[in-house]
């Protein structure tokens, strides 16, 4: 009886945890976007255009790409890791 209950409770709890983490990350992204949009409206641009080193521009571009990829990979690993862990337990 205990094993039947544990087979039902643990996968459900793990799925809820992953779901909560995903929803929290999504909401954080939405709030950051809203905050940055609001901040942009309050900042007045400088009259002079600033020159940014091309190496710095490239570094920022790749950092943004890596961050986006890391989010996707961590979500995948979180889901598959919990699934595999649950299969090992049961």
Q: Give domain limits for the chain.
A: 1-41+75-85
The alpha carbon dihedral of 63, 81, 8, 5 has a sign of negative
Evaluate whether 84 touches 4 at the Cβ level (below 8 Å): no
DSSP-derived letter for residue 44 is P
pTM of this structure:
0.41
Residue 58: predicted pLDDT: 93
- Determine the distance from the C-alpha atom of residue 4 to the mean position of all C-alpha atoms in its chain, rounded to a whole number: 34
Evaluate whether 14 touches 88 at the Cβ level (below 8 Å): no
Q: For the segment 2-50, what is each residue's pLDDT rounded down to a tens digit? A: 555 555 555 677 777 878 888 888 888 889 889 988 888 888 878 888 8
Query: What is the average per-residue pLDDT within 69-86?
Result: 67
């Amino acid at each position: 009886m205990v094993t039947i209950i544990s087979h039902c409770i643990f996968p459900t709890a793990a799925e809820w945890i992953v779901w909560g983490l995903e929803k929290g990350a999504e909401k954080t992204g939405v709030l950051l976007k809203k905050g940055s949009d609001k901040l942009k409206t309050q900042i007045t641009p400088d009259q002079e255009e600033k020159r940014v080193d091309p190496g710095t521009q490239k570094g920022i571009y790749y950092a943004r790409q890596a961050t986006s990829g890391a989010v996707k990979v961590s979500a995948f690993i979180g889901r598959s890791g919990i699934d595999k862990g649950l299969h090992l337990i049961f």
